[in-house]
Structure 1
Amino acid sequence: MTATPGIKTVLHPVSDLAEAKAVYTVLLGVEPVADSPYYVGFEAGGQHVGLVPKGGPQSPASPVAYWEVTDLEAKLAELTAAGATAGEAVREVGGGRRVATVTDSDGTVLGLLQDS
């Protein structure tokens, strides 16, 4: 079993990206570091906070915390062996970052991310 350093990213599904960007800019006190029609991201207090319009293709209605892992495939295998259900498949999201999700037995979506 490999240790997990902690939560690095939280993605918030939003219905109106422009309105949410304005609110989160004020809340976090910083301008976005990524600003596109499909994603707005902020770096604040050692965390990455992302806004995803319409929540993304398989996103729940609530935020998803992304846990930083050193080996994405190994952690996915460990989690599914422990009873988690595979969710969003591993995908590259830019800058060498890869993400995936699993769902625990209570239906909570857990995000995993690995930076290269």
Structure 2
Amino acid sequence: MSDPATQGIKTVLHPVIDLTRAKAVYAALFGMEPQTDAPYYIGFDIAGTHIGLVPAGGPQGMTSPVAYWHVPDIEASLAAVTAAGAVVVEPVRDVGRGRLVATFTDVDGNVLGLIQDQ
């Protein structure tokens, strides 16, 4: 049996307008303070899933939550989905510490993300 193409959805990012107010709501929901708390990003690690709050949708201009599928080879995964009809929104880029991300739309315009940790 070959390795699976994905390790599942482990990251979901939410664009927020007011980071302070959003942080309070999510902290109340999760019953804990965030593990990452910066002016540009708030992150919670909940039951094996990372939930991130991105002010104003961040540099990628997110307008709705984006689920990120963790994959072992982001280039191969992006090539496979585009060959099947997906359209690249944000090409592969390094966001620090060797983490690579990319986003694409499926054939119905839903935005999906890919993450590869080095």
**TM-score (normalised: structure 2):** 0.91
Separation of aligned partners in 2, 1:92 and 1:26: 32
2:70 aligned residue: 68
CA contact (8 A) 1:30 1:44 kept: no
2:41 aligned residue: 39
Separation of aligned partners in 1, 2:90 and 2:5: 22
2:113 aligned residue: 111
Separation of aligned partners in 1, 2:72 and 2:112: 16
2:50 aligned residue: 48
1:88 aligned residue: 90
SS for the counterpart of 1:113 is strand
SS for the counterpart of 2:20 is helix
Question: Could you give the per-residue CA deviations for residues 8-50 of structure 1, whole angstroms, max 9, x where no partner exists?
Answer: 1000000001110111111112221111111111101110000
Separation of aligned partners in 2, 1:96 and 1:22: 30
Separation of aligned partners in 2, 1:72 and 1:66: 11
SS for the counterpart of 1:90 is strand
Indicate the larger mover: 11-20 or 86-95: 86-95
Structure 1: give runs of 5+ residues left out of the alignment: none
Separation of aligned partners in 1, 2:69 and 2:46: 16
Q: CA RMSD in A?
A: 1.5
CA contact (8 A) 2:100 2:116 kept: yes
Task: Confirm whether residue 101 of structure 1 aligns to residue 99 of structure 2.
Answer: no
Shift of 1:71: 0.2
Aligned to 1:18, which of 8, 20, 24? 20
Shift of 1:90: 1.3
State the AA in 1 paired with 2:109: G
Shift of 1:61: 2.3
CA contact (8 A) 1:10 1:65 kept: yes
State the AA in 2 paired with 1:49: I
**TM-score (normalised: structure 1):** 0.93
